[in-house]
Amino acid sequence: MRQGPMFLLLCLLLLSPLAVAEQPLSLEAGARITDLQQRLEESEKQRGALTQQLQNQDSERESAQLTRLRQDNQRLKLAVKELQASASAPQRLLTDQQQWFLIGSGVALLSVVCGILASGGHRRRRQWLN
């Protein structure tokens, strides 16, 4: 066989599926298609409504989270101001107990100094021992 008719036969075989004529749709197929199109439209509407609800819930959640973060921010700002105020105020170096101890030791030292000055600055033999 020659190459020409073989090529022509091959081309006709490849084009034959395209040459098949479409059959008209039956009434059942047409009704089914319209039913599916209506269901598709309803599904699209439901998807849009659900998407809107999801966005609303997200925005509500974000607004609640934003409110909570603002409250935390205000609370932390107040805490910083309180710490700065307490840092700038002079802190007590001694507790009450330590202050009373220092007062007592000061009185004891003062009485020792007064006793030494009252005796004349030198030690005498105690007279009551004789």
Residue 1 reports pLDDT greater than 80 = no
Residue-wise pLDDT for 11-58, tens only, equals: 777 777 666 656 666 778 888 889 999 999 999 999 999 999 998 888
Contact indicator for 54, 46 with CB cutoff of 8 Å? no
Q: CA of 75: how far to CAs of 64, 69, 130, in Å? A: 17, 10, 79
Supply the pTM of this predicted model: 0.36
Residue-wise pLDDT for 99-115, tens only, equals: 999 999 999 999 999 98
pLDDT of residue 117: 84
As a whole number of angstroms, the distance between CA 51 and CA 47 comes to 6
As a whole number of angstroms, the distance between CA 94 and CA 99 comes to 6
* Token pair 């269901």: residue: 39
As a whole number of angstroms, the distance between CA 28 and CA 35 comes to 10
Residue-wise pLDDT for 46-102, tens only, equals: 999 999 999 888 888 888 889 999 999 999 999 999 888 877 766 678 888 999 999
* Token pair 């298609």: residue: 33
Residue 125 reports pLDDT greater than 70 = no
What share of the chain has pLDDT > 90, as a percent? 38
pLDDT of residue 123: 58
